[in-house]
Structure 1
């Protein structure tokens, strides 16, 4: 039950993108087409989840006993960036030079965003006495929350008809208004999802 509570709390109640405002760059830069957003969001979800699955044992078995628990974010960040670049290396096999360069550029941007999302997970692990179930649920939930945020924002951005938006609000201003409304929507459900499994 604590796994499910941590998962839903991290995904909906304290969404790292909309509730904590971490990783908004990924939403604004890559949330143009829903198809691209789904691929990017899945890779971000996988990197964040694996960073929690591998980073927490590193923290619990090595950093905490040695008295250097404050280094937990480094473990999470390193694991998430390694996962992204391994994914990029696998995706580059059999591709042309231009395609490999494009994939590695996208992987660099993805690694930066995965590191930005992994740092709060490392700080949470260092600050709280959590179990493996809570750490795993939080990391998978944080990735799920980022995936939901990127895909929802891309879908809404695609559906906004730019012809009906006043000239002064076209482009970045309407994106900021949309993001603020989505942040308010996520704050309205705060406390509900995590309480389902208490």
Structure 2
């Protein structure tokens, strides 16, 4: 049981999908300009990553492996992810129109967010059991949310700072992301 909690914390901080595996950089850079939209995107992606990884694991073990159709893994996972994203998008549109407007085009783009597909594929590659799949997906999604919210806060602080003209905008954002990645590398020594 302790190993499962270590897996969750490791997926969230040590092997973070954004800062260590470099997955999900599009929403990381695109939605992190505003703290509230970053938090909304983080929670939406958290839900999608967790549900999509569970559904993909079930599809892998109940359909693809018994029928020896692992060659269709990526295509089937994309269909599963697109379905989960569509349901999430409809829910947010109905229950939080302001968040739906703030997320804009990035909400449907969760379907093509490589972090979502990456977590589903990593679960299969590592051959996790069902409970460990949940822990890994939850840890990865928590890590995604933490990183995007922290980065949004840092970008808000950068707006108040004097940044040389040549570094304003995306250049200082990428430098800050690199420094944040190095800061998260410090969690690797915790084990």
1:20-35 equivalence runs, <5 A: 20-35=21-36
Is the CA contact 2:37–2:102 (under 8 Å) kept in the aligned structure 1? Answer: no
- Report the secondary structure of 1:168's partner residue: helix
TM-score (structure 1 length as normaliser): 0.83
| Greater CA drift, 103-112 or 55-64 | 103-112
1:103-152 Cα offsets, whole Å, 9 max, x none, are 77343223322xx1122223223323321111111111111111111101
Give the 4+ runs in structure 1 shifted more than 6 A. 99-104
1:87-98 equivalence runs, <5 A: 87-93=88-94
- Report the secondary structure of 1:189's partner residue: helix
Aligned partners of 1:56, 1:111: CA distance in 2, in Å? 17
1:47-67 Cα offsets, whole Å, 9 max, x none, are 001012221111112212223
Q: Which stretches in structure 2 are left out of the alignment for 5+ residues?
A: none
Compared with structure 1, are the counterparts of its residues 94 and 170 closer, same or farther at alpha carbon in structure 2 (3 Å cutoff)? Answer: closer
Aligned partners of 1:136, 1:127: CA distance in 2, in Å? 15
Is the CA contact 1:50–1:79 (under 8 Å) kept in the aligned structure 2? Answer: no
The count of corresponding residues between Structure 1 and Structure 2 is 189
Q: Give 2:177's aligned residue.
A: 179
Aligned partners of 1:94, 1:65: CA distance in 2, in Å? 39
Is the CA contact 2:31–2:106 (under 8 Å) kept in the aligned structure 1? Answer: no
Is the CA contact 1:7–1:140 (under 8 Å) kept in the aligned structure 2? Answer: yes
Is the CA contact 2:31–2:103 (under 8 Å) kept in the aligned structure 1? Answer: no
Aligned partners of 1:23, 1:144: CA distance in 2, in Å? 13
Give the C-alpha shift of residue 71 in structure 1. Answer: 3.8
Q: Give 1:109's aligned residue.
A: 109
Compared with structure 1, are the counterparts of its residues 100 and 7 closer, same or farther at alpha carbon in structure 2 (3 Å cutoff)? Answer: closer
Aligned partners of 2:181, 2:187: CA distance in 1, in Å? 10
Is the CA contact 1:10–1:145 (under 8 Å) kept in the aligned structure 2? Answer: yes
1:9-158 equivalence runs, <5 A: 9-93=10-94, 105-113=105-113, 116-158=114-156
